[in-house]
Structure 1
């Protein structure tokens, strides 16, 4: 078995992990990146109509401040105030760094960076490079990683985090990975930056790229705590290819049709079956462009009614749903649309006679995106579903992005659960950049030395390798296909762990999930060769993760949180359970026990810091090395 030493191991090669590697290397830290592939993951493969990056306002006379932005980040509740301040304060440095690397954020003649308002944001802090902002970031960051000479090990799938010590002295000390060829590789490291992305592999209906599975289950199995797991974001997305149908895709006001399972017969425009006012239905459809994520507050009389209708057609009635730009929806009259819709389309010159003409005028790139992937919106409908898109929760970490209970583990990017119930659009990209920067700063200041004993690493590796080989042996003899295993938990998550939540259904789902985890540990799932063995190990951590998420969701519903954010809680009679706003002042922490069960507890949100900010005091602390603080 191969063994590799590096001071700090970065697992994952998305925008957050790449930025962490850059900042670590610049600070003189021996760094190595291990990844399934540089072209895999969410950052490099995803985007939207206009993919947003969120940062402090840097244009015009409109006032802005770190605390104003922090207040916007935490306004929905369920977010620690000090983390909001750190993300707001770090946004300027992180954004300027991306600009310096050549990411083409637009600026004016004076060097100002104009912004626009995004969802959950009262100011104009949002910016964009177009539909591929996160890809542009990855390209620039990877170029810098290579310039700095950071080694990258591709085609490696991490199967376990290595842990040593006990109690409050538990720490990570590396990772164990499978190569695509089937060989094992061990990594010994003082620190692990965990940049594995969001939970794309947990859902059957997912807006994530198919290659993005996520790896939070690895951290749960190592004992790392989670935070705010029930708080996620769901929205309408195309199925093939997977892409958010936000912005102009909805503002063009296409037909929304459903068909029988063959995708052709029994075509219906189902919105008008539930709403006898075409103008109202199509005005709400237009608003889905602005208000893309499903929002419990808009689920009954607002734009998220559209999401509910799509979900009902697919999941309850078993039909397929499509956007059709070829002709106007039944009863469509431009002049009957809401004033907001009419004004926007008229000012944009998008008053064409068909949805396709309006979409082409609003955003020709949106049309080109699908054409390049074999879908001609002028001649064929586009299949959609209500999909999991982002997890606001994730792993629980400190002000310096270190796990709260597993030392030397630094979750950055979407896997870090710094967000609350809701967040401004683009805040996740900012959080990933700030998190990578702060983790690197802390490691260089506090964890730059060598503290890992040879014996501790050897014992951890031996135990992990024995367990992995035993699981692999069970998989080679299993009669349970990895596809069937994955299909089971993905269907369970989309049915019970998405936007629509019922207490009784969740309790059943938790029991079923725990039974599946036990079966997988006992039997494994069939692996006929090296690539299938990787799938089997992916299933193990994903199955653990889905049990953790469902357990947290059930606990949240039992606690009486009610409907909030992107989740709609229904009672036994099918009525909406209202939100209890008292929970906005709390975060939910989740921990995994040795038997792969989960425990949960509510903790009060830390408020925005109230300390007096005085230059001389901060300067003195900075000079004597008290920053970063040992937290």
Structure 2
């Protein structure tokens, strides 16, 4: 890695030249750095907005899952069978599914080797269990903090190898050649030097970029992503990287003060669902208003534990996902607040405060009895079944024994993202999106497959770079000619944001937070798990207006707001792209699927007779065998659909593969 300076906009800007930069310090990004080093490419560095930020390090669930091939006796499995499971989710490319299956054990054992505490039996078998959307016992877990342990151990590997980490650097532009066919570098905001205008910006001149920025979480107000996770997908769309399956997200019930998925035992202990006004008054048990009888309601609450993501297929006949719609109705439509109360049983199963077992369904009674928790109130049952679930909230300032837990239906994972090939290289050459920012998933995915996909994708990118893209970056003079106008445009945007400090002169409070709230509220209301043609069109028009007028409406109080202003620019452009994709899906006749419901226009489902008025159609594989691709090019959005690529029918003759492997003809 070499350090120099170049002059742009009358500014002397530091430039680092090296083979590969990895953007992001989550599990996928750190694994990419570790793998690259192990594969022999050591001219690398990690760039991160904050080493301790991001989703991998700050999120989890009741039992956070890692999905891989079955690794214990009597559980027959194969890479092809696992690929079929991934492929069957709809809108998935078969070749990518096969790669994620084939490298799942390679990636899993690497995590085991570096110390992630996945459990095994006395014979060394890594026992599995079934997770959602999966037919075999492929799932494993290191507990609620699985991804945290992964990130922690991978960070240690990176530090032990003395790989340079540029901490507190925010990427604000991806730099390309003049035809936007190849990535050649990055422009970053050095947040360590916000008070030093001479060092405010830093440029990276690179042969390759591994982009591990996570999902665009900042688009949603109701979000289970950590508040430190915003994403940076808009910067990629801006330079022509294609988006894939952007319509497909996963949503579910989560706590909002401390952001955490409320799946598993959090639901199976039957907490009481409470609605209040905005001040926390007017307490009501409300779910029973929408169910035909208490038994149906408690079965749905219980099933919400293992049917956690919202699924339109589980709405009708008073299924578990009806609860997500009711919570949305209370919070978004009625403007109330919703809570889980673990301190007392619902009045519908309470006999003088005690659990009335006779009012529970057979499935619920059997589970609680087998768990030795068929007694008491929800917090007592939770303590018996999963005390760490209580401790987790206590460690984050919430005592479930003494207070209610505020909830919402939250964005949890983007199944779509940036498009890439089987080596995780995008249509923009030398640019590799890995982890959640990569759209390798389709409509449905097995729980835990995202953690595997991040490890597999970052490994594949590292393999390809180490074998095929070893050359040095451009010489500095050539690089400067290529990037001067691109850098100038972004610095000019930054200067415009900074000029608002003087114009504002504290007449107005900083608007960056209000703009962020507006972005999130719009997406959560119109484009989360409840969607309609009219609401998407309205949101799209408002987003387009806000993006085009951002420099007029963005007021900074100090240079400290500059980072947020650049984030808002990225989020607004990202939102514009996503809403374009969703509108296109609906215009083509796309129906409810995955983790969202599309309302028909002939009925308003949100009335007092919610159950009777639910009116929506399920997708009947009309578009499930196709993939939507969207690209921003020459100031226009181009959307097209193609058929999924099938699972490859490989030639498994050993001698042929061995011969190709020895001649280095596999990685290409």
Q: TM-score range by the shorter chain?
A: over 0.9
Match of 1:550 in 2: 579
C-alpha distance in 2 between matches for 1:580 and 1:41:
36
C-alpha distance in 2 between matches for 1:548 and 1:299:
29
Which runs of 5 or more structure 2 residues have no equivalent in the other structure? 1-12, 195-199, 350-355, 505-509, 604-614
Match of 1:286 in 2: 302
Match of 1:192 among 203, 209, 218: 209
Match of 2:141 among 128, 132, 156: 128
Structure 1 outlier segments of 4+, above 6 Å = none
Match of 1:386 among 409, 426, 431: 409
C-alpha distance in 1 between matches for 2:29 and 2:131:
25
Map of 1:554-569 to 2, 5 A cutoff?
554-569=583-598
1:344 aligns with 2:356: no
CA drift of 1:351 comes to: 1.2
Write out per-residue CA displacement over residues 541-599 of structure 1, whole angstroms, 9 at most, x where no aligned residue: 1110011111101111111120100010111123203313121111110111343x422
Map of 1:188-267 to 2, 5 A cutoff?
188-263=205-280, 265-267=281-283
CA drift of 1:444 comes to: 0.8
CA drift of 1:339 comes to: 2.3
Give the secondary structure class of the aligned counterpart of 2:624.
Answer: helix
1:602 aligns with 2:602: no
Write out per-residue CA displacement over residues 104-151 of structure 1, whole angstroms, 9 at most, x where no aligned residue: 100111110000110001100000000000000011101110111110
Match of 1:109 among 115, 122, 134: 122
Write out per-residue CA displacement over residues 220-271 of structure 1, whole angstroms, 9 at most, x where no aligned residue: 11211010000000000101101111111100101001001101x1111111
Match of 1:572 in 2: 601
CA drift of 1:214 comes to: 0.7
Match of 1:272 in 2: 288
C-alpha distance in 1 between matches for 2:173 and 2:157:
29
C-alpha distance in 2 between matches for 1:457 and 1:493:
38
Map of 1:11-30 to 2, 5 A cutoff?
11-29=23-41, 30=43
CA drift of 1:451 comes to: 5.9
CA drift of 1:524 comes to: 6.3
Aligned length: 623
C-alpha distance in 2 between matches for 1:233 and 1:455:
46
Q: Comparing 584-593 with 330-339, which one deviates more in the overlay? A: 330-339
1:628 aligns with 2:641: no
Map of 1:10-89 to 2, 5 A cutoff?
10-29=22-41, 30-89=43-102
The answer on whether the counterparts of 1:20 and 1:436 sit within 8 Å (CA) in structure 2 is: yes
Give the secondary structure class of the aligned counterpart of 2:412.
Answer: strand
Give the secondary structure class of the aligned counterpart of 1:176.
Answer: strand
Match of 1:427 in 2: 449
Match of 1:410 in 2: 432
Give the secondary structure class of the aligned counterpart of 2:659.
Answer: helix
1:616 aligns with 2:655: yes
Match of 2:570 in 1: 541
1:375 aligns with 2:373: no
C-alpha distance in 2 between matches for 1:313 and 1:62:
44
Match of 2:164 in 1: 151
The answer on whether the counterparts of 1:396 and 1:416 sit within 8 Å (CA) in structure 2 is: yes
Match of 1:452 in 2: 474
Match of 1:119 among 132, 145, 159: 132
The answer on whether the counterparts of 1:19 and 1:141 sit within 8 Å (CA) in structure 2 is: yes
CA drift of 1:474 comes to: 1.7
Match of 1:592 in 2: 632
The answer on whether the counterparts of 2:187 and 2:204 sit within 8 Å (CA) in structure 1 is: yes
TM-score, structure 2 as length reference: 0.92
C-alpha distance in 2 between matches for 1:192 and 1:334:
58
The answer on whether the counterparts of 1:524 and 1:536 sit within 8 Å (CA) in structure 2 is: no
Which runs of 5 or more structure 1 residues have no equivalent in the other structure? none
Give the secondary structure class of the aligned counterpart of 1:173.
Answer: strand
Match of 2:539 in 1: 509
The answer on whether the counterparts of 1:497 and 1:549 sit within 8 Å (CA) in structure 2 is: no
Match of 1:4 in 2: 16
CA drift of 1:469 comes to: 2.1
CA drift of 1:453 comes to: 5.0
Change (3 A) 1:289 1:556: same
C-alpha distance in 1 between matches for 2:382 and 2:83:
35
RMSD of aligned residue pairs (Cα, Å): 1.3
The answer on whether the counterparts of 1:475 and 1:523 sit within 8 Å (CA) in structure 2 is: no
Write out per-residue CA displacement over residues 160-213 of structure 1, whole angstroms, 9 at most, x where no aligned residue: 01111416xx11111111111221110111000000011211101110000010
C-alpha distance in 2 between matches for 1:565 and 1:394:
15
Map of 1:487-502 to 2, 5 A cutoff?
487-502=517-532
CA drift of 1:452 comes to: 3.1
C-alpha distance in 2 between matches for 1:444 and 1:335:
64
